[in-house]
A and B are shown apart, each in its own frame.
Chain A
């Protein structure tokens, strides 16, 4: 079988399916972003208005606040997940009885539905009147903080970290376990102490895993929606609205297809830019990194 035919058979089915299911809606969304179409006002005819929504978006205060929120949420979550995940990976890399149980306990949050995490934490855990938080603080005779109002973005960040750290932990653990023992032993024989061992021996070998977890984590955390929806509703005001929730607000409360499509397009472009930059950056600065 000639080479091209083979490549075609291997690759085409996936390409076709993914293209149909994602690119067609994308093209429609781009088109929608340039028309005025409000679903609950069929009496207002669909009108082509070009880039009006784009202008509105970039000149609105809310967009920049949402942009900031999304960046803060993503960067802090990724950093914390990476740090915490690394720590946990090291702890699990040892041999001890019950390591399997510990691992199961630690990865469980990743399997929960976002909406369940949100509703549960907001009410049963952190509600300042009848949640666990309340009883915890009452034990010390203090009044609990109202996290939802005072630090809504932080609230969501905590949930994101709780959910995603197990993922980072698993990937980094796999990375640690892929380092052959001889390499580590050789480093010890060479007289390298623990710190040097980490930096010069372990780090380059797990770099690939760090990159994978960071990039995957980035893509998914950028799309965080369920957690926002079930906890803060993006509020108060726009304080905890991130990109996807902003689209939701305009699309399903405002029923404004045009504006929400425009926001979606902007988001996609920004996400693409971020990923592109990261790809290039990682390739340039760290040798031998394959993503």
Chain B
């Protein structure tokens, strides 16, 4: 008799908790790019399967970062899931703002764990999203920087792009293709001032030219010849062979230019490949070739960036949040995007299996190059010289948005002709030293 009552109670309790679960709404903060928009539209599937509802806050990158940082740092804790990058993971772990995911993985039952296949997630990305030995976020997609070029125009001009070109070669090729009178530019490069905009590209150049931001004693290194070389070469590229109005050109503008067929070479994020091969948005489908990020003194300069999903420690629905995290970063989800939208738009740069999928390989001729580039990134050793910080191409510390934006502005001032390179270097040196001192890094 008692046994029956107990069973009944258990059943009732299960029903109760299940229905409670059905009333959970997760608040998600994410960035407004096409992949995330697809995620939002497909998430009704998730709600159908699990009964968990989703509430979205979608914003441009800058505003999103501010809103999320505000939410975690000032303690409102209203987001369950936040979309962040590698840099936030590394910085925020120290303050306990996001929750480690390992305990949740341990709690997963064996079939679910196998289906998720954490090992399938690219190792470089997994390491980027881990700190203190634990995984803190799951990658939605990953990217690196690659060199896009117009295969057709290269052939016509008798040029060959090597698998990993040097910056000098890029300058050379671009000079040969540069035709500004006809609205065609040899090279398209970001110039928009911003720590995640021009500094993403320029940061890789600093590394490529053998420079670094700080030495092991946290002294700023803007007074070194390597840094000066990087500044000068960047100026040469922009002023001689690139698009006009570079200070207004970020990723989207660069993509627009390349998609309109106005540039011969474009060095930027690998996620552009999908868009450049979409006939509804691009005029250069089938005309593109791909190469690795350029080198100078150092090789393997592609950056590593991943928009990833993490759980706020303040979330009251961690189990449900974890369910969504694993759903949207699973192989099944990638398949879902591939089948319902298109394979060229499938989120990439996160899992090996995507690149091994023949359907993806068919539409993504850039896939092998991007995969090798992502695998080659060494996030922990950005420079050939020793550094007290990690990060390609950023300096991973909480002061990065400040340092990055200020240096970005100085760089933009040089290409706008408002400052000489020496003046800008001096200003950057001052700022970087101040940041190191005020942050307590420099003793």
Contacts and interface: CB of A to CB of B under 8 A. Distances in A.
Q: Do chains A and B touch in the complex (CB under 8 A)?
A: yes
Interface of A: 38-44, 122-123, 127-130, 134, 138, 143-144, 146-150, 152, 232-239, 249, 252-256
A123 B253 CA distance: 8
A238 B415 CA distance: 14
Contact of B257 (A130, A138, A235): A130
B408 to A, nearest CB: 8
Size bracket of the B interface: 35 or more
Q: What 7 A-B pairs are tightest by C-beta distance, nearest first?
A: A149-B416, A237-B413, A254-B402, A40-B398, A128-B245, A236-B412, A236-B413
Nearest to A238: B409
B362 interface: no
Contacts of A152: 416
A122 B247 CA distance: 11
Contacts of B413: 235-237, 239
A130 B401 contact: no
Interface of B: 66, 69-70, 73-74, 91, 94-95, 180, 183, 185, 192-195, 243-249, 253, 256-257, 260, 262, 398-399, 401-402, 405, 408-410, 412-413, 415-419, 427, 439-440
A255 B244 contact: no
15 contacts: A40-B398, A41-B398, A123-B248, A127-B253, A146-B246, A146-B416, A149-B247, A149-B418, A236-B193, A236-B418, A236-B419, A237-B409, A237-B410, A237-B419, A239-B418
Contacts, number: 116
A144 B418 CA distance: 19
Nearest to A150: B416
B405 A143 contact: no
A256 B418 contact: no
Given A42-B73, A253-B401, A234 B409 contact: yes
Contacts of A256: 402
A144 to B, nearest CB: 7
Given A39-B69, A143-B180, A149 B246 contact: yes
Nearest to A231: B248
Nearest to B91: A40
Given A138-B183, A235-B193, A129 B91 contact: no
Contacts of B69: 39-40, 255
Nearest to B415: A149
B183 A129 contact: yes
A144 B244 contact: yes
Given A43-B94, A237-B413, A252-B66, A127 B245 contact: yes
A146 B243 CA distance: 10
Contact of A150 (B195, B417, B419, B427): B417
A234 B94 CA distance: 32
A122 B248 contact: yes
A40 B73 contact: yes
Contacts of B70: 39
Given A40-B73, A129-B262, A239-B418, 14 more contacts: A44-B440, A129-B244, A129-B245, A129-B249, A134-B183, A146-B248, A233-B409, A236-B412, A236-B413, A236-B419, A237-B419, A239-B413, A239-B416, A253-B401
Contacts of A146: 244-248, 416
A130 B256 contact: yes
Contacts of B95: 42-43
A234 B62 CA distance: 15
A210 to B, nearest CB: 36
Interface centre among B183, B194, B248, B409 (most CB of A within 10 A): B248
Contacts of A43: 94-95
B237 to A, nearest CB: 15
Contact of B405 (A122, A236, A253): A253
Given A143-B244, A148-B245, A254-B401, A233 B416 contact: no
A150 B415 CA distance: 10
Contacts of A39: 69-70, 73-74
B247 A235 contact: yes
B439 to A, nearest CB: 7
A174 B403 CA distance: 50
A185 B194 CA distance: 61
Contacts of A123: 248, 253
Nearest to B180: A143
Contacts of A253: 195, 401-402, 405
B390 to A, nearest CB: 17
- Which residue among B193, B194, B246, B416 has the maximum number of chain A CB atoms within 10 Å of its CB? B416
Nearest to B193: A235
A18 to B, nearest CB: 25
A235 B409 contact: yes
Contacts of A254: 399, 401-402
In the complex, which of the residues A41, A129, A249 has the most CB atoms of chain B within 10 Å of its own CB atom? A129
Contacts of B194: 233
Contacts of B398: 38, 40-41, 255
Contacts of A143: 180, 244
A224 B129 CA distance: 39
Nearest to B247: A149
A31 B402 CA distance: 23
Contacts of A122: 248
